[in-house]
Structure 1
Amino acid sequence: MSSENMLAVHFDKPGGPENLYLKEVAKPRPGEGEVLLKVAASALNRADLIQRQGQYDPPPGASSILGLEASGHIAELGPACQGHWKIGDPAMVLLPGGGQAQYVTAPEEFLMPIPAGLTLFQAAAIPEAWLTAFQLLHLLGNVQAGDSVLIHAGSSGVGTAAIQLARMAGAIPLVTAGSQHKLQMAEKLGAAAGFNYKEEDFSEATLKFTKGAGVNLILDCIGGSFWEKNVNCLALDGHWILYGLMGGTDVSGPLFSKLIFKRGSLITTMLRSRDKKYKQRLVEAFTKQILPHFSTESPQRLLPVLDRVYPVTAIQQAHAYMESNKNVGKIVLELPQ
């Protein structure tokens, strides 16, 4: 392979994991204010699965290669970089795409230093999941000490991050998940209670836990199939934040009348399609407020949860495993060096 090329995850047509393979493509060049990162690891996200299925196009101008987060070392600085980074520095980065390749470019403001004591695999599991959880709780949910927070998919990458961040904010995290093993893992991370949505009505269990008051904040990546139970266990003046549609898009029934009765706020959000300025502010706030707590010296240490690491050559197996919904925490891909 020439030095102008690299290996990247690719698919020729939308469909199942069997369509994925590694392809030799042109190595990107950093533009003005951008850096080139030599990728050591990249984590999988649901967005990768949906894009592979042909249902989620990258934002305009973004790479069509999968991968919304990565870690590695800086290989090149583009023109007009501000001097925060040097060649060889380890870094992790939030991306609109392109992470599942040997090299990726990004605005220098989207990069974050890797906290002391973390591996490159752990670092790759932070940007998309933890910035999403931080955005949901703090920027959109305005979480306060004493608030109760219901986190759906509590054992996912975003879920495991949200549990820890809610605890750090002095809030009370409650979670839903589909197995006892996942609920136990969530409780180890600090969830005050967990409900198996396959075996019980989580809204009734939530109301019981909160002594009928309901939760102040719901972090919802499920959507359609959970709407009625969400409104049922939302506290008066509560915030329900929708950031995914794993449970479908259709709503049938009196959503608005139930929501207005609770004076509830329904907020929808996506991080990938946000503009550069928003992401820059988000990365800056997270780097200042949260990143120091990942360090081994922090008394309130935060930890990314890794389920397993696959070599990128096993990309089909990694996607199939994520689709099986068995993972607790993040699935990470190791790129050849």
Structure 2
Amino acid sequence: MATLPQEMSYVAHGAGGGPEVLALARGPVPEPKADELLIRVLAAGVNRPDVAQRGGSYPPPPGASPVLGLEVAGEVVACGAGTGRFRVGERVCALANGGGYAEYCVAPEAQCLPIPEGLDTLRAAALPETYFTVWANLFGHGRLRAGETVLVHGGTSGIGVTAIQLAEAFGATVLATAGSADKVEACRRFGAKAAFNYREQDFVAEVKNFTGGRGLDVVLDMVGAPYFARNLQCLGLDGRLVMIAFLGGTTAEKVDLRPIMVRRITVTGSTMRPRTTAQKGEIARALEEQVWPLLRQGRCLPPVHATFPLSRAAEAHALMESSTHIGKIVLTVAE
């Protein structure tokens, strides 16, 4: 086994701020603790939580790396005590607790998955954060089942594309919202039966028309307060509203809550990062059993909108904040 370097390059975000604060820095290569793997990072996914952490509103949990980055793909180069599934030299993708924007990253072995056959590391790096989040929220908390109808907001985001593809693959009818004609068409290409431009269409009216007034079974929402009342209006009997982000704000005022009681609506949501390693490991096992076979068949693959080298992470974040992308943004770290 080759000797590992003592130092590595990583993306620092200083005291926080706009994308311009991101810059390459040098620091020590992390050492894997018990039950962790050290991964030589080949590619790292860019996600909204990274943007929030850079801005100071999403701090890492105790003990996690302060470096940005929650998903990586690469090669195992060292194994901590108590590991056993993966060996040095194997390629994996991982949901990290932090530290992904770097040449080396540690991740609990339970949160690592083999890269599906046929996928390169670029696409593999686009898997963990969104697929863990969608599986846990849409199919876990949202209890989406075959034959049901779901509305996915932000249909061309990384989360949105994943949700559309997986929901369709598991037999649900999918509706989506997006902010332009091109994005609406992209939602349809990914598997949505109908998609609505929220800038020009009233998605509540469109949903009621599509469902013949019955309403939806599930809504997956990342907008938050501005959509809360309208989401309730979209849901039918025993509907479930699953909230995974608050891009439009957290405080909803003057909301009629009666539909929750009258139609037995469940309002739920979650974040991924605070979950325990054991909880994330359960999600990883479910993904490997239920979703990885689809990926090996070339189905439900994450579309990569743009790639940037690690040194241009600021540009990747600026693109993320522009919301002009369709699919994932990925940092390339090594060959």
Question: TM-score normalised by the shorter chain: which range applies?
Answer: over 0.9
CA contact (8 A) 2:13 2:21 kept: yes
- The alignment partner of 1:308 has SS state of strand
Distance 1:95 1:261 in 2: 41
> Residue 156 of structure 1 aligns to which amino acid in structure 2?
S
CA contact (8 A) 1:219 1:243 kept: yes
1:315 aligned partner: 313
Distance 1:191 1:172 in 2: 7
CA contact (8 A) 2:137 2:269 kept: no
1:67 aligned partner: 69
Matches within 5 A, 1:31-42: 31-42=33-44
CA contact (8 A) 1:227 1:255 kept: no
**1:301 to 2:302 alignment:** no
Q: CA deviation at 1:286?
A: 0.7
Q: CA deviation at 1:137?
A: 2.0
CA contact (8 A) 2:110 2:278 kept: no
Q: CA deviation at 1:11?
A: 1.4
Distance 2:82 2:130 in 1: 29
Distance 2:91 2:272 in 1: 24
Distance 1:176 1:301 in 2: 22
Matches within 5 A, 1:274-293: 274-293=275-294
2:172 aligned partner: 171
TM-score by length of 2: 0.97
1:185 aligned partner: 186
**1:235 to 2:233 alignment:** no
CA contact (8 A) 2:97 2:107 kept: no
> Residue 310 of structure 1 aligns to which amino acid in structure 2?
F
1:23 aligned partner: 25
Q: CA deviation at 1:95?
A: 1.3
**1:147 to 2:148 alignment:** yes
Identity %: 38
Q: CA deviation at 1:316?
A: 0.9
> Residue 304 of structure 2 aligns to which amino acid in structure 1?
L
Distance 2:133 2:82 in 1: 29
Q: Which of 323, 326, 329 does residue 327 from structure 2 map onto?
A: 329
TM-score by length of 1: 0.96
- The alignment partner of 1:211 has SS state of coil
> Residue 322 of structure 1 aligns to which amino acid in structure 2?
M
- Cα deviation per residue 1:36-83 (whole Å; 9 max; x = unaligned)? 00000001110011111111111111111101100000011112212x
Runs of 4+ in 1 over 4 A off after TM superposition: none
Distance 1:133 1:33 in 2: 25
> Residue 44 of structure 1 aligns to which amino acid in structure 2?
V
Q: CA deviation at 1:255?
A: 4.0
- Cα deviation per residue 1:215-264 (whole Å; 9 max; x = unaligned)? 10000111001111101111111000001000111111134223222210
